[in-house]
Amino acid sequence: MSTPGIDAPILVVNAGSSSIKFAVFDGNLNNRLAGIADGIGGAASLKVGTDKQDVDLPDHVTALQAILHGLEACDLPISGFRMAAHRVVHGGSELTAPVRITSKTRLAIANCTPLAPLHNPHHLSAIDTLAALAPDLAQYASFDTGFHATMPKVETTYALPTAITARGLRRYGFHGISYASLVRLMPELSGAPLPDRLLAFHLGNGVSACAIRKGHSVATTMGYSPLEGLTMGTRTGDIDANAVLRLAREDGIEATATLLNWQSGLRGLSGGTSDMRALLDCETPDCGFAVEHFCYHAVRHAGALIATLQGCDAIAFTGGIGENAAPIRRKIMEGLAWLGLKVDHSANENNSTALHTSESSVAAWIIPAQEERMIAADALQLMQQEGA
């Protein structure tokens, strides 16, 4: 069998709890194809490029096999790929940079499963399935927690006894691949060096903000899990631990976990809707309050992050809401006008890259999320460093 050359494509796999997103990039990191196997374990569908069909996907192994069959039908057999690269949600304290998948690094990812029980097992399933189907294919992993490894100990440590924190109870932060992509792409889109003090918002169904100093994370709103921080699509964000303990005593641990992670946030506040587009079109008081809550807490947390930066030179928005919801950006930027931020409202309504006026003391930008491209870039860089 011939070995794929340097122009061979790169497969990026992003396995979630009920879906597997994938993308194919060429050697110059241009996106050739993308798709998703969705609804795994239920009413499932497979989308490869523009072609979508309902399929039976009882588990993640079947879903990945269906993706590979779909790619082969597009003249992209797995034997022709140069490498596969995976998004892994949790790398713990040890896996803080992209890695090549070996027996040792696979074990390290498995050891992080208690920190991400709903995610890491599915990442491992994708890794193992590809290894079985294409044992000679080099595989790499990038970690959602990795970008935040630069946060100082005072930011990552909960005020708990050291015997408890030794069990991995600390703040890790998430959306790291998105923030790393933003740092990489922003100078290209802005035409200027990366600002020293950057406040970044990842606004989607999951929501976080990050204080970035000279390209490195120094503070972020998500903590031990993605539940902490801002108001999200279905997650509460910050909530007093004693309130959680009361819910657990009265309703049980599993019911409380479901409530906090999947029935709260925008969905809980609005009475059932977590889609920001629907909320912005809705005229009920509950929907309006959900939007207000989302923006208020984004601004409230921004103040703390700006304090860690000792000022702010620029703000950046990414993620589905951050890139497309002009009313949300407007409300958040109005809440930060005290920084000297002056908004170009026409640019904001048009989802333009630059959102500030020439008189503004602080720049504001939309930076498109390119997580899959970042994962491919990580893998490519590692392979080049290996001399392959």
| pLDDT tens profile 322-341 | 999 999 999 999 999 999 99
Q: How would you label 149-185 residue by residue, b for 16+ Cβ within 10 Å and e otherwise?
A: bebeeebbeeeeeeeeeeeeebbbbbbbbbbbbbbbb
Q: How would you label 188-221 residue by residue, b for 16+ Cβ within 10 Å and e otherwise?
A: eebeeebbebbbbbbbbbbbbbbbbbebebbbbb
- Burial-class residue 354 by CB neighbours within 10 Å (0-12, 13-18, 19+): middle
Helix axes 285-309, 326-335, angle to 10 degrees: 50
pLDDT at residue 215, rounded to an integer: 98
Please determine, for residue 177, whether its predicted confidence score (pLDDT) is greater than 70.
yes
* Domain range list for the chain: 10-143, 192-371
**Cα(202)–Cα(182) distance, rounded to whole angstroms?**
10
Q: Could you tell me if 228 and 219 are in contact, meaning their C-beta atoms sit under 8 angstroms apart?
A: no
Residue 250 is labelled as binding a ligand:
no
Residue 87 is labelled as binding a ligand:
yes
Q: pLDDT for 92-141, tens place per residue?
A: 999 999 999 999 999 999 999 999 888 899 999 999 999 998 999 999 99
10-143 shares its CATH topology with 192-371: yes
pLDDT at residue 128, rounded to an integer: 95
**Cα(373)–Cα(31) distance, rounded to whole angstroms?**
8
Q: Which CATH number fits domain 192-371: 3.30.420.40, 3.40.50.2300, 2.102.10.10, 3.40.50.10310?
A: 3.30.420.40
Q: What is the mean pLDDT of residues 198-223?
A: 97
* Order of strands, sheet of 197-203, starting from the edge strand that comes earlier in the sequence: 216-220, 207-213, 197-203, 314-318, 363-366
| Ramachandran class of 51: left when φ > 0, alpha when ψ lies in -120 to 50, beta otherwise | beta
Residue 321 is labelled as binding a ligand:
yes
pLDDT at residue 388, rounded to an integer: 52
Q: pLDDT for 17-50, tens place per residue?
A: 788 999 999 999 999 999 999 999 999 999 999 9
- Burial-class residue 16 by CB neighbours within 10 Å (0-12, 13-18, 19+): middle
User: Distance between the two ends of the chain, CA-based, in angstroms?
Assistant: 17
Is residue 281 annotated as part of the catalytic site, yes or no? no
**The total number of residues written for the chain in this structure:** 388
Residue 38 is labelled as binding a ligand:
no
pLDDT at residue 17, rounded to an integer: 79
pLDDT at residue 63, rounded to an integer: 94
Residue 351 is labelled as binding a ligand:
no
Question: 10-143: CATH homologous superfamily?
Answer: ATPase, nucleotide binding domain (3.30.420.40)
Question: Given 51, 54, 136, 144, which residue is catalytic?
Answer: 144
Please determine, for residue 383, whether its predicted confidence score (pLDDT) is greater than 70.
yes
Residue 176 is labelled as binding a ligand:
no
pLDDT-derived band at 387, boundaries 50, 70, 90:
confident
pLDDT at residue 386, rounded to an integer: 87
**Cα(277)–Cα(47) distance, rounded to whole angstroms?**
23
Q: What is the mean pLDDT of residues 186-190?
A: 97
Average pLDDT, the chain: 95
pLDDT-derived band at 88, boundaries 50, 70, 90:
very high
pLDDT at residue 1, rounded to an integer: 46
Residue 275 is labelled as binding a ligand:
yes
Residue 276 is labelled as binding a ligand:
yes
Please determine, for residue 3, whether its predicted confidence score (pLDDT) is greater than 70.
no
pLDDT-derived band at 315, boundaries 50, 70, 90:
very high
pLDDT at residue 7, rounded to an integer: 77
Q: What is the mean pLDDT of residues 295-301?
A: 98
pLDDT at residue 310, rounded to an integer: 98
Residue 120 is labelled as binding a ligand:
no
Of all residues in the chain, what percent carry a pLDDT higher than 90?
93
Residue 205 is labelled as binding a ligand:
yes
pLDDT at residue 339, rounded to an integer: 98
pTM: 0.94
Residue 52 is labelled as binding a ligand:
no
pLDDT at residue 350, rounded to an integer: 98
